Structure 1
Amino acid sequence: MDYAGLDYRNIRFPVDRPLTESERAARYKQESYSNASPMDFLSVIKLNSNSIDLVDRWYPIKGFNTWFGICVVLVSMGALAGIYSALFFSNRTAPIETVDWIGVSALTPLFLLLTLGGWWLIRTECGRFTHYPMRLSRKTRQVHFFRQNGTVLTVPWDSLFLTLGESKSPLSGTTYDLRAHVLDDDDETVRDSFSLGYPSPLGNAESIDKFWAFLQPYMEAEDGVEKTWHHLKENTGYLVPVDNRREGWRWSIARSFMLGAHWPYLQLLFSPFLGLNALGRMLAMSTSKIPQWPADVERESQPEVNDPYVLTWRDNGSLGWWELYWPLICTVVGVGAFVGVIAWVVSGLWR
């Protein structure tokens, strides 16, 4: 999936470089409004008159690296066990020949490297943070970004260079995000970068226009708080339930299947993939820490007494049949089908 910019073992967006012409051409200026229809793409954690919290670009797809990494580890270790079992513990009558040793010598480091690669994939999500939030403070006009190492980057909203970001992934192809660059004093050199908005792996360039049309008024329009509140109440239905908590198993299943929310038959068709993603997501969430903002960031972001524009996950409606129970059935069917196929393959190999 699209894990571009994940700052784990220094996999990041390119920095310490000049802005490109394409970035300049696709810039979103703070004072410019979009005519696109606003969409939040299920990225808001909470809202009040002083600040809005957003999830990171990796949150929607969390779980993929976990289950895929586990599969890589299990297949690699299983292959090693099969090779050595056939070589030393089977009832073979022929002596071990040189070609057997050559094969073992070549395959052992290969499968060990695959095992390490699978473990690396697991560790990009497990034992870290449940998510990496961003907080935009309308009150102080600051943007706070929770980094993957637990530190917080704070940058003035007006100093950010915002542009259309593009990333390429073998599985998801070209994806787009609202890229935020922190520039040096020369207003030319990129010193840091993060993704301020990410529609989904299925989003396109126009999706970023829609996200900008949602986000920019909150920070700049006189009635931006009211507009944002009404949009979330009337159009979204759900805020992400990760404010000072881990998401529950119900949300892990619902969120994993939301990419196909309008196509229930496709959810069933891709249920092995989506169901495994839900299980991987649950494991990743259960083993990860909950991010905590520094005390000064929390103080400046607290809602005023009787603030009429407070929204949190507690204001969400209940997950219904198509949001939870149908995905739950698909998860059981999909995971069952996957396990059945694996069992059939393994039994055939051991005959």
Structure 2
Amino acid sequence: MFGRAASIRPLVSQLKLGARPTRARPSFKFSTSPPRRAAGSNLTAPPPAYGPIGVARALQPGTTASPTIFTDEFSLADRVALVTGAERGIGLEMALALVEAGARAVYCVDLPKAPGEEWAKVREYVGALKGKTGVGEARLEYVCADVTDQEAMWKVGKTIGDREGRMDVGIAAAGILKPDSPCLTYPAKLFQQVQDVNVNGVLFTAQAAGQQMERFGNGGSIIMIASISGHGSNKGHEWVSYNTSKSAVLQMARSMACELGPQRIRVNTISPAYINTKMTGAFLAKNPEVGERWAALHPLGYIGRPDELRGAAVWLASDASSFCTGTDFSVNGGYLAW
């Protein structure tokens, strides 16, 4: 549930943005009629570039029988990804999963000027994966950048696009959580800090990835890490700023999904329940009674592991979820089933 802030002094130069010109207010006319289509036009999308799959493949004359579900639909071969909050925690877990699914380059964006030992060991592991089944070039790159700096994040996206010639996946996993504080006296400064990272940072990450997806015209998948805290309040905690921010992420994804759908840019969210990252684990080590309470809130009876989010992330990033957008996937151990 808890990501890592990617708030940083960027290593890339900042963009210069011009002032937006003043425009006259447009008049809108709404219609309930369905869009007009040419006679005989197909109402479904064409098959993927690698050809028909599933039953359509089986029925195609002369097709050689071969499974495609993992070699094609779930494969991220030659894909390029940007993941924020990926120096450790959930972001790093997802970055590694994308590499294992075949992505040739995954750019990890986070706060420290240089990544720590955990990230370095994962990168070394990625190097050893090269040549293994389903793994391609397998590069894990680190970028120091500030997710709350819109211009810097746009520059990060463009730099990746210029270097790689494409952008296929963007995962916004950077996030922060402040200590409990009563809602009636919650400090404005703390509230704004949480929104800056958890809302603005998510938007700027989605923009950075989405602009490059639009640039190259291949479509893509944007995945935002929301939370069970966006679906309801957390019992026993005074987290008005965090809960508000995660609810905003859910609506942001739905809005962007509707706007970007025609460009085949899909936008979805993952809402974890309590996940035992190293940062969370350090807190629970000092507050074991909280850990017991959190575990009991899940029908499965335990706090989730970061790797239990990998499957949802890879599915959403891949062609296997090609008809899925504007949707939240709650990976929560049954938390919302009570």
Q: TM-score range by the shorter chain?
A: under 0.3
* TM-score, structure 1 as length reference: 0.22
TM-score of the aligned structures, taking structure 2 as reference length: 0.23
Q: Which has the larger radius of gyration?
A: 1
